[in-house]
């Protein structure tokens, strides 16, 4: 009995230590926050859950993934010109019957041919990557749905070919006691899978709630956001095999969600500066979840706060995309994006 008590005591101390060393700092509960830029932003109402935004740099057309993340109606993809928000329209086209989009990625091939890759949560336990052809006017037409065992809890997707892509699995355990332990202790059990056009497999693991994923213009340097790691993991990608080799970690002063990359190579990140407020906002829409946008220099690791909203003009920012001096910020639950000057 004494041995059992000693073991339980050691486990309890380990849990408390994990909470103090990892979870409290990662939560941002001690962060000193000052509002920035929101008074210069306009609001564009779209649909609930503007979780991900990506912009075609050649046309300035923004695609927005939306879904009713608290349950209810199916989601949709919207599009508008960054220079003309009044051009907003739904472009979802012939989506699957069960359509709850999450992360998105725009792929451009030879002669300007484009495809939009979309994470789709068909049910809480079934997921797929939907591939759409993009017409000249931005309208989408569904090509195929891809699912495989390693696509277990997808959050974001990164297209690297006509039907090749990476996808982050934000958790290894989504239910039960292990799901609770992984979430609340920030256990590094998340992963990245790769679909090579024929089959999918895990190519990176050991991540604390993997979220956004993107790649530099060189086609090799790949970035993955770790919400509970409060950082961005950098990998070297082998274009021939799809394998990833860890290079380094970049610490950031927020819980990073999606990653967009500007023309100058800077990482633009929408994040959650206070994770506990975000968790409260999930259950109570009236509870404000601050929004935070960072610009990160991937070479030096230095970050700059571009936007910080503490008043709920947009709750729980999840993405920040830039084009031609304009910043578009989307959120996990809110029915709008912010359109702001990019500095």
Helix boundaries (H) for the chain: 2-18, 24-27, 176-185, 275-283
Report in angstroms the alpha-carbon separations of 134 from 107, 108, 110: 10, 10, 14
* For range 305-325, the mean pLDDT: 97
Per-residue model confidence as pLDDT tens digits over 38-91: 899 999 999 999 999 999 999 999 999 999 988 878 999 999 999 999 999 999
The per-residue pLDDT for 195 is 98
**217, 221, 225, 228 alpha-carbon torsion, rounded to 10°:** -160
In 3D, which of 295, 300, 293, 341 has the Cα closest to residue 314? 293
* For range 208-221, the mean pLDDT: 97
What tokens appear for 29 in the block? 């509960």
The per-residue pLDDT for 23 is 54
Is residue 11 very low, low, confident or very high in pLDDT (cuts 50, 70, 90)?
very low
- Residue 14 pLDDT exceeds 50: no
The per-residue pLDDT for 29 is 55
Is residue 343 very low, low, confident or very high in pLDDT (cuts 50, 70, 90)?
confident
The per-residue pLDDT for 24 is 58
Name residue, tokens 């929004």. Answer: 291
Q: Report the 10 Å Cβ neighbour count for 305.
A: 17
Of 121-125, 238-242, 289-293, 315-319, the one with minimum mean pLDDT is 121-125
- Residue 1 pLDDT exceeds 90: no
The per-residue pLDDT for 4 is 45
- Residue 7 pLDDT exceeds 50: no
Per-residue model confidence as pLDDT tens digits over 263-275: 999 999 999 999 9
* For range 120-137, the mean pLDDT: 96
Q: Report the 10 Å Cβ neighbour count for 313.
A: 18
Beta partners for residue 233, in sequence order: 224, 249
pTM: 0.91
The per-residue pLDDT for 184 is 72
The per-residue pLDDT for 293 is 98
Tell me if residue 10 falls in helix, strand or coil: helix
Task: Compute φ and ψ for 178, nearest 5 degrees.
Answer: -65, -35
* For range 178-186, the mean pLDDT: 75
Is residue 156 very low, low, confident or very high in pLDDT (cuts 50, 70, 90)?
very high
The per-residue pLDDT for 41 is 96
- Residue 199 pLDDT exceeds 70: yes
Per-residue model confidence as pLDDT tens digits over 158-177: 999 999 999 999 988 877 78
């Amino acid at each position: 009995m004494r041995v059992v008590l000693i073991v339980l005591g050691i486990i309890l101390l380990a849990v408390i230590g994990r909470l103090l060393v990892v979870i409290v700092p990662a939560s941002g509960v001690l962060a000193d926050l000052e509002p920035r830029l929101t008074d210069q932003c306009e609001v564009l109402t779209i649909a609930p859950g503007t979780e991900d935004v990506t912009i075609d740099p050649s046309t300035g057309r923004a695609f927005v993934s939306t879904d009713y993340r608290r349950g209810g109606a199916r989601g949709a993809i919207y599009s508008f010109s960054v220079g003309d928000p009044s051009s907003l329209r739904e472009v979802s086209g012939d989506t699957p019957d069960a359509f709850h989009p999450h992360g998105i990625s725009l792929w451009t091939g030879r002669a300007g041919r484009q495809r939009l890759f979309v994470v789709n949560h068909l049910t809480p336990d079934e997921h797929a990557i939907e591939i759409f052809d993009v017409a000249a006017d931005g309208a989408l037409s569904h090509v195929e749905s891809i699912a495989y065992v390693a696509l277990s809890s997808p959050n974001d997707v990164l297209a690297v070919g006509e039907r090749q892509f990476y996808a982050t699995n934000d958790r290894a355990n989504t239910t039960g006691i292990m799901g609770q332990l992984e979430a609340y202790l920030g256990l590094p059990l998340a992963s990245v899978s790769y679909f090579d056009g024929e089959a999918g497999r895990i190519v990176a693991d050991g991540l604390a709630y993997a979220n956004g994923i993107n790649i530099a213009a060189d086609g090799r340097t790949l970035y993955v956001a770790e919400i509970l790691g409060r950082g961005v993991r950098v990998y070297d990608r082998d274009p021939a095999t799809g394998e990833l080799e860890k290079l380094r970690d970049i610490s950031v002063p927020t819980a990073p969600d999606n990653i967009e990359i500007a023309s100058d190579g800077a990482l633009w990140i929408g994040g959650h500066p206070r994770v506990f407020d975000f968790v409260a906002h999930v259950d109570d829409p009236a509870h404000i979840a601050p929004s935070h946008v960072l610009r990160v220099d991937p070479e030096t690791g230095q970050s700059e706060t571009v936007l910080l909203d503490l008043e709920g003009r947009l709750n729980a920012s999840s993405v920040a995309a830039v084009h031609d001096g304009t910043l578009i910020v989307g959120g996990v639950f809110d029915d709008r994006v912010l359109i702001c000057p990019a500095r």
